[in-house]
Amino acid sequence: MLWTAGKTLAGHGKFMFHGKTMLAHRMAWFFEHGEILSRDQLLLHSCNVPSCVEVSHLRIGTHAENMADRVAAGNYAATRGMSCSFARFTDEEVARMREMIAEGMKQREIAALFECSQSYISAIARGKIRAHPTSEPSPAILAQREREARASANRQRIDEIISVVHPDDEIVGEEWRPTPFEGYMVSSLGRVRGRTMIILKLFIREGDYAIVHCGNRNPQAVHILVCEAWHGPRPAPGMHAAHRNGDSMDNSPENLRWATPLENIGQDRLRHGTVLRGADANGAKLTQEQVNAIRAQLPGTRGIIARLAREYGVVHGTIRAIRDNLTWRELNP
C-alpha cells in the first residue's frame, strides 16, 4: 500500500495534523499497534519503498540497521576515507596525524599544522572517522591536484616569458592602450603597466585566468582589459571576453572577442573541450545509459517523476531537468 499524497524529500508519506507534519508510515504503525514511537525508534521498510504504509512491511529498528538496509538495497553510497567526496586528507596524512597523537603532541597543535579543526583531530584520535584506509583519493583531492597542476604550469609559462624578456623591456611590435583605470595601460601582448610605468605582476586565479591589481583591492582580469581596449566596452551586461582558441593565457587582441554566455560556454568551451558534460561533470550522479533509460520513460503517466527519482536515487528536480532538456542535453559543438 503506497501513500499517494504529500511526500518528504526522502519519499516518505506526510500530512498535516493540527498544524504539525506527521509521517504517514509512523501514524499507520500507531493506528495498528497503539504505540507512540520515540525519536530514537525508527520504522524500517522491509520492502525498501519509503512511501509504503503497509504495516506488515514495517519493523522497529536502529539507525545502524536502517543504514545497513540501505547499503544492502543499493540506495546508499557507503564511501569511506579518500573515496568520500568531501575528504581533504590522504591516508598517509591521517596516519601521520595518528603518529603525532601517539607521540603526545597536543591536538590543537596538530590541527594548526594541518589547517583543520581540533574536533576533527579528536574524532580521528577516538577512531570515529578515517578508521578504514582506502586506496583511491576522493574527487575533491583529485580536483585539487588538477588545479594545482594547472596553476603550476601557468606560473612556469609566466616565468619562461620573463626569463626571455625582462618585464620592463620594450618589445618590438607591442602596442599599449589605456584601460578604464586611470594611469594603467594594457598591451597587445597581455602585459599591464601601473602608474609608475612598471609592468604589473600576473596572478593566476581559478579558471586559469591571468589577473593584475589595478590599485588597492582591485583585481582585474587581463583578458577583459585587452578586450575592452581593442574591441570597445562590453556590449551588454553579462557578456564574456571569450578566447577563440580556448587558451586562457593567450590574451592577444585577435584571440579575444565579446560573446554571449551561450556562445562562450555552450559552444566555444565545448569545442575546446574545456567544459565537462554528462557523466564527466563534477558531482554527476547518473551515467549516460541511465539518462537514456530515464528519458525513454518520459513524460509518462502521473507519478513517473517520483518513481524514477526513487529508482535512480536522485531528487525530483533532476528528473524534471532531464525531461525539460535543461541538463544532459545534446549540444552541437
The pLDDT profile of the chain, 333 residues, written as one tens digit per residue, is 788 888 887 788 898 888 888 888 888 888 888 888 887 788 888 887 888 888 888 888 887 788 777 767 666 555 567 666 667 888 888 999 999 999 999 999 999 999 899 999 998 898 888 877 776 666 666 777 787 888 788 778 777 655 655 566 778 889 999 999 999 999 999 999 999 888 888 888 766 788 999 998 899 999 999 999 999 999 998 899 999 888 888 899 999 999 988 787 656 655 655 555 555 554 567 888 888 889 888 888 888 898 888 888 888 888 888 887 767 765 433
Contact predicate 176/187, CB 8 Å: yes
Contact predicate 118/108, CB 8 Å: yes
How far apart are the C-alpha atoms of 324 and 316, rounded to whole Å?
12
pLDDT of residue 331: 43
pLDDT of residue 155: 76
pLDDT of residue 111: 92
Phi and psi dihedrals of 209, rounded to 5?
Answer: -100, 140
CATH 3.90.75.20 residue ranges for the chain: 142-272
Radius of gyration of the chain (CA): 28
Q: List b or e across 173-187, with b for residues whose CB sees 16 or more CB atoms inside 10 angstroms.
A: eeeeeebebeebbbb
Q: Which fold has domain 142-272?
A: Homing Intron 3 (I-Ppo) Encoded Endonuclease; Chain A (3.90.75)
pLDDT of residue 321: 82
Q: Cβ neighbours of residue 301 under 8 Å, at least 6 residues apart?
A: none
Cis peptide before 299 (omega within 30 of 0): yes
The answer to whether the predicted template modeling score (pTM) of the entire model surpasses 0.85 is no
Cell of 266: 555552450
How far apart are the C-alpha atoms of 259 and 79, rounded to whole Å?
41
Cell of 143: 580536483
Q: Which fold has domain 81-125?
A: Arc Repressor Mutant, subunit A (1.10.10)
CATH 1.10.10 residue ranges for the chain: 81-125
